[in-house]
Amino acid sequence: MLFRTKLLASAAIFSLSATFAYADGHGDMSAETVVASVNGSEITLGQLIMLRSQLPAQYQQLPDDVVFNGLVEQLVNQQLLADTLEVEPKRVGIALANETRSLRAGEVVNSITSTPVTDEEIQAAYYARFEGVEPDTEFNASHILVETEEEANEIKSLIDDGADFAETAQERSTGPSGPSGGELGWFGAGMMVPEFEAAVMALETGEVSAPVQTQFGWHVVQLNETRQTELPTIDDLRSELTSEIQQETLNAMITSLTETAEITLPEEGQFDFSILQNLELLED
């Protein structure tokens, strides 16, 4: 799109030599109301409104008079430049065809997303997602990491004889959790290496494992606590479920249209995919 490269860069650029009068009300205005014209080509209020809606957020926050005057200037300048184009390049028509298709499809999508999703639909989607789903178990454990099995057996004996696990971890563990008493916090299935996870899952709360070997060394593990994760509530997922239902509606519509439409697609091997990079085909 051709326009002044510095247009919209600051409020100062929006100033025009002429000013535009504002009516107190909008009752007599419509999208077809002519705001300006260039050699007979009309610039309408609808065009300004559409252009403003597409501005980056920082420009939409500018005062209305600044934006209004700036957009009028932009469209006037574009029309002046457009009028000098004697022959419209092929790429312009191609771009317009793509944009028209995209805008028309977007209107259909908007009609779907603007249709309210009922509470019954959301509830059905929620139950479908979580039917038969059991809460996961999370584990809170501590460990003492050492290099050899001999050291691990010695530490296990110390713990069995009454040594405090956290203090022993601070004194003997080579892992990063040692200074905090070996505490690993809460974790779920799949978050630890398999050997460590299996050892944790085999323990009762408060129990200390026999030495366990992993790729990191030898561990003595204590299970501190377990808990069941809570499933998200329907209100937690309302927005997500709404989008999911709308997407399913759109997918169903596309499937139905595809089944009844006459569609031809490229045959395998018909095109060299690198042809997409050949911009010369857009030239006349």
Q: Do the beta carbons of residue 211 and residue 149 sit within 8 Å? A: yes
Q: What are the pLDDT digits (tens) for 137-158?
A: 999 999 999 999 999 999 999 9
Q: Which amino acid type is present at position 181?
A: G
Q: Percentage of the chain surpassing pLDDT 90?
A: 87
Residue 206 has pLDDT above 60, yes or no: yes
Give 187's contacts (C-beta < 8 A, 6+ positions apart): 138, 139, 141
**Structure token digits, residue 73:** 């200037």
Is the pLDDT score of 15 beyond 60? no
Record the tokens describing residue 22, joined without a space. Answer: 């504002």
Residue 191 banded pLDDT, cuts 50, 70, 90: very high
User: Could you give the percent of the chain with pLDDT greater than 70?
Assistant: 91
Give CA–CA dist 67/54, Å, rounded. 12
Give the number of C-alpha atoms closer than 13 A to the C-alpha of residue 123, restricted to the C-beta side: 3
Which stretch of DSSP H or E encloses residue 214?
strand 212-214
What letters, b where the CB count within 10 A reaches 16 and e where it falls short, cover 53-71?
Answer: eeeeeebeebeeebbbbbb
How do residues 233-280 score in pLDDT, each as one tens digit?
Answer: 999 999 999 999 999 999 999 999 999 999 999 999 999 999 999 999
- For residue 144, what is the DSSP state? E
* Torsion angle defined by CA atoms of residues 272, 276, 278 and 282, in that order, rounded to the nearest 10 degrees: 130
Rg (the chain; Cα; Å): 34
Apex 100 CA angle, 98 and 103, nearest 5: 110
**Would you say residue 47 has pLDDT above 50?**
yes
Burial class (CB in 10 A: 0-12, 13-18, 19+), 257: exposed
pLDDT at 14 over 90: no
CB 211 within 8 A of CB 191: no
CB under 8 Å to 167, separation ≥6 — which residues?
181
How far is the C-alpha of 80 from the C-alpha of 2, rounded, in Å? Answer: 10
Residue 7 has pLDDT above 50, yes or no: no
Nearest to 220 by CA among 167, 186, 173: 173
What pLDDT, on the 0 to 100 scale, is given for residue 26?
73
The predicted pLDDT at position 129 comes to: 93
The pair of three-digit structure tokens given for residue 187, joined into one six-digit string: 């974790």
Tokens linked to 181 = 């008493």
Q: Are 250 and 109 in contact (CB under 8 A)?
A: yes
The CATH architecture of the domain made up of 137-228 is: Roll (3.10)
Residue 281, Cβ neighbours under 10 Å: how many? Answer: 10
Domain ranges of the chain: 1-20+29-86, 88-132+232-253+276-284, 137-228
Q: What does the pLDDT read at residue 25?
A: 59
Task: Provide the phi-psi class of 29: left if phi over 0, else alpha when psi is between -120 and 50, else beta.
Answer: beta
In 10 A of CB 47, how many CB atoms? Answer: 17
Q: How confident is the model at residue 182 (pLDDT cuts 50, 70, 90)?
A: very high
pTM, two decimals, is 0.62
pLDDT, one tens digit per residue, over 66-119 is 999 999 999 999 999 999 999 999 999 999 999 999 999 999 999 999 999 999
The span from the CA of 148 to the CA of 174, in Å, is 11
Segment 179-206 mean pLDDT: 96
